Amino acid sequence: MNRSPVKQRRGIYAFILGGILLAMLFSPSGLIAADAAAVEAGHNLFPITFLWIAVILIAAKISSLIERVGQPAVLGELIIGVVIGSLYLFGIDIFEPIKTNYIIHFLAELGVVILLFQIGMESSVSSMMKVGVPSFLVACVGVILPMAAITYAVGPLLVPGLKSTAYLFLGATMTATSVGITARVLKDIGKIDTSEARIIIGAAVIDDVLGLIILAVVAAIVVQGSIELYTLSIIILKAVLFLGGGILIGTWLAPRLGSFFSKIQTGVGMKFAIVIAFGLVFAYIASLMGLAPIVGAFTAGLILKPVHFDNFDSPVFINDLKGAIKEENVSGRLAQKLDQVIETHSHKHIEVFTEHLGHFMVPIFFVLTGMQVKVATLMDPKVVLMAGGILIAAMLTKVAAGVAAGKGQRKLVVGIGMIPRGEVGLIFANMGKGLGVMDDTLFSAIVVVVMLTTLVTPPILSGVFKDK
Amino acid sequence: MNRSPVKQRRGIYAFILGGILLAMLFSPSGLIAADAAAVEAGHNLFPITFLWIAVILIAAKISSLIERVGQPAVLGELIIGVVIGSLYLFGIDIFEPIKTNYIIHFLAELGVVILLFQIGMESSVSSMMKVGVPSFLVACVGVILPMAAITYAVGPLLVPGLKSTAYLFLGATMTATSVGITARVLKDIGKIDTSEARIIIGAAVIDDVLGLIILAVVAAIVVQGSIELYTLSIIILKAVLFLGGGILIGTWLAPRLGSFFSKIQTGVGMKFAIVIAFGLVFAYIASLMGLAPIVGAFTAGLILKPVHFDNFDSPVFINDLKGAIKEENVSGRLAQKLDQVIETHSHKHIEVFTEHLGHFMVPIFFVLTGMQVKVATLMDPKVVLMAGGILIAAMLTKVAAGVAAGKGQRKLVVGIGMIPRGEVGLIFANMGKGLGVMDDTLFSAIVVVVMLTTLVTPPILSGVFKDK
């Protein structure tokens, strides 16, 4: 589309006008008074919830401009959440109802389930096998070190007088490296195909799984008040059975699912429904077994990972193209080349199904998490000290874990690559808050540490990696 | 993928095995006991709601097999909803909680908003202008006749003794032709490009809008108890202003939005968020103005209709293809042809954004609507008589409206094409039930009539049209 600069400027004016109209809508006095018919005609909470979803979506996407300065989008979503959640300090309290909106909380939870489903689909059983021993060692050391250091040293030292379960939860929040952020950074700096990158991603996947087992264990300890060896082993057994069983069944089931998907001719809708329902049912089964729903979603993702099937997205395009090629009687190298291009693109991965759903739901979780940070607590030097201490421990322990990468690998690179914490840590912190183990101070400190680990890693990692 | 028949059969076994496992999960005794940690660790309703969503998605998609016998998917969703909702009559009451699950009701409402947003995007201001006078006449006659006949004759005759507002609501449910079903049938029988088809689709679009205005008017009358000329004109004015204003602003805004979308480089996520938020904000504004949220969503869809922008879905494919063409030094007719194919497919319509979200949310509305049909009331000869009477009136009045198509058109074809009722009628019935105007008997009768109009039209229409 070729548009003159004048017309382009008009487009910008239109956008600004729209912004002003929206701002007037949000103003306390309101442009338009609510109508009695509308208020009484059904579920009052529903329309305003539509508005909150729109607000969160737009806020999240505006915040994603942070990617332009090399930071991951998740950081922007957290920051914009903190901003929106703190507006009440300046007398703007129209967004406060979001914090207690039950439906928004459900959509956030659904968002996390979809995200872990997606992360599972990024991981795959076979990729976990291939990365092998060094990844496993880095993951184990990288889980044990921060867990031990924070639970038994940094936690009691910096925040004395809490229950032992609080320190356990605090330690657990710092165990899992964020697969998403790590992979994103490595891709952005063009180093995704190095052996260090493969070890980092493998280890991040494994420590996600370890982290999820730790979550189940710690949550049970908190709820039941004490550590019973029987309960402990049951939970570990359940998690191992669930994940292990899922992986075993998955290895057997995935190619069959793929073949089944290729055969059914009911179109996109059916495949979409099967994929999503698969993730949701696993999330439910996990919760039935005393595991977090996200563990189930992750396992479902692992199982579905190898499932590919025929293209459904642009079959018309493919067909038109084939028609044109045939019509013109193309042969030889060009025909081969074109066939190859068509072949590459006429199979689509199952992940695309959750893509748009993820765009819709996932930011709700992170913005809502950001909104729950009480900025006032950050004025407290105690919180700043706490966050600083946890951050240093969280970084050093992961860098130390890099040593486990073994000979021939750049250990510092691996260690730094393991620093970013993200989704899983925040989910732990949320759950700890829900269980009453963590107070606002600790919660705020953890969110700040997670934000800082994602903020600090990209420049350091790209700096160290580029030195090579 | 070439798989041997044995392997294919194994895939089917795996699927059956999965079904058995799911069935055991649903069995009242349950395979796995819920864990205390899981139950206490947070929002109890959330995991089970994941399961309900999965159940509805799978049920809806299984029911869509009805398309293989030439019936629209929406009919299957309604029928499966009726089936699931009636299982309690046979002692199976595990699905009963779905009927009162607040989150499911919200997702259903969100589904309707997305559906009307999509229908709006299928309609467009310019297509409404082009179909012109005959469409407008058919629409008006097709709204006035059933409204008048059912409100003032069929209703009071068949169900004497109700409040006048109940008859009004009953008449209103039968005004709007289902754009989706009509267009789908015409497409399926390959007659989408005839003048009759264009008139039918145009009229169906217009009577949707008229129906939405009628809904606003009737809902206000019900809530306020009486017809005040002032209120009435205010509501009509609001609806006309909202829709007219939306269309005027939209005509001006759409190309600018398109140009804006082409310029921003933030990827799919941002565009997706803007599109969805646009629909949701309009839904909220409509509810602020006393209109149903769906009116807002429909208007937002109309506005966005002409917005196209650069392909974002398979840029890699397009680029690879361009590379291959360049590399092989293609020129002349083939190059031109390939360029043309690439050009056609490298712009994507904005609709794709809502497609997967629609797959997820929309069936929830129709399955839930089906679940609310009390089958027991259908044993009542009174309901059967009522449904029969309404059905005959609903069909005859639309066939009569076909006469307004004018000279040179096959009036019977147009009239029959207007018969299917769907989404909008069911939304009216739902709202009438929510407002307490319609009892279970009337509601069940309406759902049955809607089901029968969609069931009856495809065979009749294709029969009449093929005679040509």
* A1, A33, A46 member nearest B259 (Cβ): A1
**How close, in Å, is residue B449 to chain A by CA atoms?**
24
Counting residues of chain B whose pLDDT is more than 70, the rounded percentage is: 70
CA angle, B120 as apex, B114 and B125 as ends, to 5°?
160
> 3-class SS at A310?
strand
What are B347's strand-pairing partners? B310
At position A337, the amino acid (one-letter code) is K
- pLDDT tens digit string along A69-84? 767 777 788 889 989 9
**How close, in Å, is residue B411 to chain A by CA atoms?**
34
Is B145 inside any structural domain? Answer: yes
B176 vs A: CB within 8 A = no
**How close, in Å, is residue A94 to chain B by CA atoms?**
15
Residue B418 pLDDT greater than 80, yes or no: yes
Q: Rounded CA gap, B179 and B176, in Å?
A: 9
DSSP state letter for A308:
E
Segment of A385-399, A419-433, B5-19, B104-118 carrying the highest mean pLDDT:
A385-399
Residue A4 pLDDT greater than 50, yes or no: no
B324 vs A: CB within 8 A = yes
Confidence of residue A23 (pLDDT cuts 50, 70, 90): very low
Rg (chain A; Cα; Å): 24
| Residue of higher predicted confidence among B14 and A129 | A129
Residue B301's contacts (CB-CB under 8 Å, 6 or more residues apart) are B116, B117, B118, B119, B120, B121, B122, B123, B279
The CATH number of residue B144's host domain is 1.20.1530.20
CB contact under 8 A, B109 and A43: yes
Burial (Cβ within 10 Å: 0-12, 13-18, ≥19) of residue B138: buried
- Give the torsion sign (CA, B184, B185, B191, B193): negative
Contact A312, A268 (CB under 8 A): yes
> Of the ranges A299-313, A451-465, B186-200, which one carries the lowest mean pLDDT score?
A299-313
Query: What's phi and psi for B421, nearest 5 deg?
Result: -105, 160
Query: Which pLDDT value is given to residue B83?
Result: 93
* A10, A35, A73 member nearest B289 (Cβ): A35
B468 vs A: CB within 8 A = no
Is A71 inside any structural domain? Answer: no
A328 vs B: CB within 8 A = yes
**How close, in Å, is residue A342 to chain B by CA atoms?**
8
**How close, in Å, is residue B135 to chain A by CA atoms?**
31
Contact A288, A123 (CB under 8 A): no
Confidence of residue A16 (pLDDT cuts 50, 70, 90): very low
Query: Which pLDDT value is given to residue A53?
Result: 95
**How close, in Å, is residue A449 to chain B by CA atoms?**
24
What is the average pLDDT across B317-344? 64
Is B423 inside any structural domain? Answer: yes
- pLDDT tens digit string along B250-291? 777 777 776 776 666 555 667 778 888 889 998 998 888 766
Q: Rounded CA gap, B402 and A178, in Å?
A: 62
Burial (Cβ within 10 Å: 0-12, 13-18, ≥19) of residue A85: buried
* A3, A33, A314 member nearest B314 (Cβ): A314
**How close, in Å, is residue B78 to chain A by CA atoms?**
17
Q: Which residue of A has its CA nearest to B356?
A: A356
- pLDDT tens digit string along A189-227? 677 677 888 788 778 877 877 887 787 778 777 776 665
B26 vs A: CB within 8 A = no
In the Cβ-directed half-sphere of B2, how many Cα atoms lie within 13 Å?
A: 0
| Residue of higher predicted confidence among B423 and B169 | B169
A277 vs B: CB within 8 A = yes
Own/partner pairs for A23-29, CB < 8 Å, 24+ apart? A25/B281, A25/B285, A25/B288, A26/A94, A28/A94
A248 vs B: CB within 8 A = no
A110 vs B: CB within 8 A = yes
What is the average pLDDT across A130-153? 89
Residue A86 pLDDT greater than 50, yes or no: yes
Is A1 inside any structural domain? Answer: no
Residue B329 pLDDT greater than 70, yes or no: no
Burial (Cβ within 10 Å: 0-12, 13-18, ≥19) of residue B220: buried
The mean pLDDT value of chain A amounts to 75
Count: domains in chain A: 1
Is B80 inside any structural domain? Answer: no
Q: Where are the alpha helices (DSSP H) in B87-189?
A: 96-100, 102-123, 125-149, 155-158, 164-173, 179-188
CB contact under 8 A, B38 and A110: no
Packed helices A293-304 and A195-224: angle between N→C axes, nearest 10 degrees: 150
What is the average pLDDT across B140-158? 92
DSSP state letter for A150:
I
Query: Which pLDDT value is given to residue B178?
Result: 77
**How close, in Å, is residue A388 to chain B by CA atoms?**
29
Confidence of residue A416 (pLDDT cuts 50, 70, 90): very high
Is A43 inside any structural domain? Answer: no
CB contact under 8 A, A50 and B284: yes
Q: Rounded CA gap, B425 and B445, in Å?
A: 12
Q: Rounded CA gap, A349 and A423, in Å?
A: 23
B282 vs A: CB within 8 A = no
Query: Which pLDDT value is given to residue B175?
Result: 92
Q: Rounded CA gap, A272 and A350, in Å?
A: 9
CB contact under 8 A, B41 and A293: no
Query: Which pLDDT value is given to residue B352?
Result: 66
Query: Which pLDDT value is given to residue A41?
Result: 36
Q: Rounded CA gap, B154 and B147, in Å?
A: 10
What are B310's strand-pairing partners? B347
B248 vs A: CB within 8 A = no
What is the average pLDDT across A165-170? 88
Is A177 inside any structural domain? Answer: yes
Is B343 inside any structural domain? Answer: no
Domain of residue A259 covers: 104-311+346-466
**Other beta carbons less than 10 A from residue A198's beta carbon:** 18
CB contact under 8 A, A14 and B257: yes
Q: Rounded CA gap, B21 and B15, in Å?
A: 10
Q: Rounded CA gap, A119 and A232, in Å?
A: 27
The H or E element spanning position B348 is strand B347-349
- pLDDT tens digit string along B297-310? 878 887 887 665 44
CB contact under 8 A, B256 and A49: no
Task: Tell me the CA end-to-end span of chain A in Å, nearest whole number.
Answer: 44
The token duo for A344 is 């590459």
Chain A residues in contact with B283 by the CB 8 A cut-off are: 47, 50
Lookup result for tokens 């009687």? A329
CB contact under 8 A, B269 and A8: no
Query: Which pLDDT value is given to residue A395?
Result: 95
A132 vs B: CB within 8 A = no
The mean pLDDT value of chain B amounts to 75
Confidence of residue B356 (pLDDT cuts 50, 70, 90): confident
Residue A96 pLDDT greater than 70, yes or no: yes
| Residue of higher predicted confidence among A347 and B46 | B46
* A64, A268, A293 member nearest B269 (Cβ): A64
Chain A residues in contact with B341 by the CB 8 A cut-off are: 317, 320-321, 324
Counting residues of chain A whose pLDDT is more than 90, the rounded percentage is: 17
Contact A365, A108 (CB under 8 A): yes
Q: Rounded CA gap, B280 and A51, in Å?
A: 6
Q: Which residue of B has its CA nearest to A280?
A: B50
Confidence of residue B94 (pLDDT cuts 50, 70, 90): very high
Interface A–B counts its CB contacts (< 8 A) at: 313
Chain A residues in contact with B284 by the CB 8 A cut-off are: 47-48, 50-51, 54
Q: Rounded CA gap, A49 and A54, in Å?
A: 9
Query: Which pLDDT value is given to residue B350?
Result: 61
B90 vs A: CB within 8 A = no
What is the average pLDDT across B324-330? 66
Residue B468 pLDDT greater than 60, yes or no: no
Residue A30 pLDDT greater than 60, yes or no: no
* A47, A314, A356 member nearest B293 (Cβ): A47
A5 vs B: CB within 8 A = no
A276 vs B: CB within 8 A = yes
Counting residues of chain A whose pLDDT is more than 70, the rounded percentage is: 70
What is the average pLDDT across B346-373? 76
CA angle, B365 as apex, B105 and B236 as ends, to 5°?
90
Put simply, the chain B residues between 290 and 309 with a CB less than 8 A from any chain A CB are 290-293
Chain A residues in contact with B360 by the CB 8 A cut-off are: 272, 276, 357
The token duo for A288 is 């039935």
> Of the ranges A45-49, A167-171, A396-400, A431-435, which one carries the lowest mean pLDDT score?
A431-435
Confidence of residue B64 (pLDDT cuts 50, 70, 90): confident
CB contact under 8 A, A431 and B14: no
Q: Which of A103, A54, A101, A113 shows the shortest CA–CA distance to B106?
A: A103
A419 vs B: CB within 8 A = no
The token duo for A442 is 């600790």
Chain A residues in contact with B316 by the CB 8 A cut-off are: 345
A36 vs B: CB within 8 A = yes
Q: Which of B65, B98, B356, B438 has the highest number of chain A CBs within 10 A, making it the mutation to test binding with A?
A: B356
CB contact under 8 A, B57 and A12: no
B320 vs A: CB within 8 A = yes
CB contact under 8 A, A260 and B15: yes
